[in-house]
């Protein structure tokens, strides 16, 4: 089994669910008997899952909460009247169940993947206290405009923060748009793929239109150390939004802050069923670049999607790489 890869299994035409069950079995000896016993059923993931769900409480976070959780920080005013927002981020080693029965030895910010979705308004002052409670050195590298010493890379400013160490990153919220943050310690692929990343939203001074806002960080997990992902998702837990769709209201403006941090695959994508959306790359402009139903993103690319559902019902969203879809990156919107 160890000689098999995810791709050879799928390419070899094995029944998908059998392939997935076998892979996950290989990734963690024992503990997957339930998956194996469901492997021969047809079609849907529900058969494979056997009705067993991830223990979100055990993980300490739930993707259904993360999808609408925006952290504006502790807010105060500086003497000059500007808004100061403060956060505390802790790097923590933390085991996470990414699919039923599949645990992943993650590195996290604040115990969750993705880390908190940090949100500010253009021009706010931002102060992020970073404490490293992990067994490895880490940083926080923010995308956006800031001085070099605040860039969170080794050898600049505070550089690598050792286990037990801490530092403060402070800079202005610029420019308006959808950004991200992640660890920048080498080997970079591992430090990102282990879970040290999150979305970082800067609202424009003239606020966007009121909307039902969602954040989706597209990610994946290499459970057997072969530098390929066995599980794909938006917001970490494979199939989470298939089991429990994201409910939205008919006619409401839906806005998705979409970030791709997927490691080991060159490209990822988001595809919406039954509708098309306006796409604002990096969220830095107010004129959409495209009206489409599919966007493709490299690692670090992100954008804002906006649309309204015209009909009630259930609409899928997923990566348009079928392989990613079948390994967890798919979900439903339920429109009522």
Q: Which residues contribute to the site for Cu ion (CB under 5 A)?
A: 138, 183, 185, 191, 196, 300
Smallest separation, CB 61 to Cu ion (Å) = 19
Nearer to Cu ion, 32 or 191 (CB): 191
Smallest Cα–Cα separation from 222: which of 27, 58, 60? 27
Max CA separation in the chain (angstroms)? 66
DSSP string, 151-169: S--TTSTT-SBPTT-EEEE
Q: Which residues neighbour 107 within 8 Å (Cβ) at sequence distance 6 or greater?
A: 91, 92, 93, 94, 134, 136, 138, 183, 191, 194, 195, 196
Distance, CA of 257 to CA of 221 (rounded, Å) = 21
- The C-alpha atoms of residue 102 and residue 49 are separated, in whole angstroms, by 11
Minimum CB distance to Cu ion, residue 163 (Å): 11
Cβ proximity to Cu ion, 134 vs 330, nearer residue: 134
Decide if 234 contacts 329 (C-beta within 8 A).
yes
Nearer residue to Cu ion within complex by CB, 160 or 326: 160
Nearer to Cu ion, 173 or 185 (CB): 185
Q: Which helix (H) or strand (E) holds 93?
A: strand 83-99
Minimal distance, residue 161 CB to Cu ion, in Å: 9
Between 166 and 294, name the residue whose CB sits nearer to Cu ion.
Answer: 166
- How far apart are CB 135 and Cu ion at their closest, in Å? 11
Of residues 112 and 191, the one with the C-beta less far from Cu ion: 191
Nearest Cα to Cα of residue 327 among 335, 319, 316: 319
Which is nearer to Cu ion, 188 or 253 (by Cβ)?
188
Contact 112, 143 (CB under 8 A): no
Please say which residue, 196 or 258, places its beta carbon nearer to Cu ion.
Answer: 196
* Residue least distant from Cu ion (Cβ): 183
Spatial contact of 185 and 154, defined as CB atoms under 8 Å apart = yes
The β-bridge relationship of strands 313-318 and 231-234 is unpaired
| Minimum CB–partner distance for residue 184 and Cu ion (Å) | 7
Give the residue ranges of DSSP H helices in the chain. 6-11, 16-27, 33-37, 45-49, 56-59, 63-66, 188-193, 240-243, 322-326
Shortest approach of Cu ion to residue 2 CB, angstroms? Answer: 28
> How far is residue 1's CA from residue 77's CA, in Å, rounded to a whole number?
59
Minimum CB separation of residue 196 from Cu ion in Å reads 5
CB of 136 to Cu ion, least distance (A): 6
Q: Of the two residues 125 and 194, which places its CB atom closer to Cu ion in the complex?
A: 194
Rg (CA), the chain: 20
The least distance separating Cu ion from the CB of residue 328, rounded to whole angstroms, comes to 23
């Amino acid at each position: 089994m160890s000689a098999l890869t995810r791709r050879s299994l799928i390419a070899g035409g094995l029944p998908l669910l059998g392939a997935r069950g076998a892979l996950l079995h290989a990734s963690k000896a024992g503990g997957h008997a339930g998956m194996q016993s469901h492997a021969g059923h047809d079609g849907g993931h529900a058969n494979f899952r056997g009705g067993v769900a991830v223990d979100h409480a055990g993980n300490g976070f739930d993707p259904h909460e993360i999808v609408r959780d925006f952290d504006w920080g502790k807010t105060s005013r500086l003497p000059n009247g500007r808004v100061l927002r403060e956060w505390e981020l802790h790097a923590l080693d933390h085991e996470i169940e990414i699919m039923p029965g599949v645990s992943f030895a993650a590195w996290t910010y604040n115990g969750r993947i993705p880390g908190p979705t940090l949100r500010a308004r253009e021009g706010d002052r931002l102060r992020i206290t970073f404490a490293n409670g992990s067994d490895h050195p880490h940083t926080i590298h923010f995308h956006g405009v800031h001085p070099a010493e605040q860039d969170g890379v080794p050898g600049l400013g505070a550089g690598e923060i050792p286990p037990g160490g801490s530092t403060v990153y402070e800079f202005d919220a610029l420019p308006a748009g959808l950004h991200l943050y992640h660890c920048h310690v080498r080997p970079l692929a591992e430090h990102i793929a282990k879970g040290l990343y999150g979305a970082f939203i800067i609202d424009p001074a003239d606020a966007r239109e009121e909307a039902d806002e969602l954040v989706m960080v597209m990610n994946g997990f290499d459970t057997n150390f072969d530098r390929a992902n066995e599980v794909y998702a938006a917001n970490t837990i494979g199939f989470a939004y298939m089991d429990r769709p994201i409910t939205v209201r008919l006619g409401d403006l839906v806005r998705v802050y979409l970030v791709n941090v997927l490691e080991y695959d060159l490209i990822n994508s988001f595809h919406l069923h039954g509708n098309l959306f306006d796409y604002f790359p990096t969220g830095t402009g107010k004129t959409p670049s495209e009206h489409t139903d599919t966007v493709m993103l490299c690692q670090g690319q992100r954008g804002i999607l906006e649309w309204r559902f015209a009909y009630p019902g259930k609409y899928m969203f997923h990566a348009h790489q079928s392989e990613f879809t079948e390994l967890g990156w798919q979900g439903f919107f339920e429109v009522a």
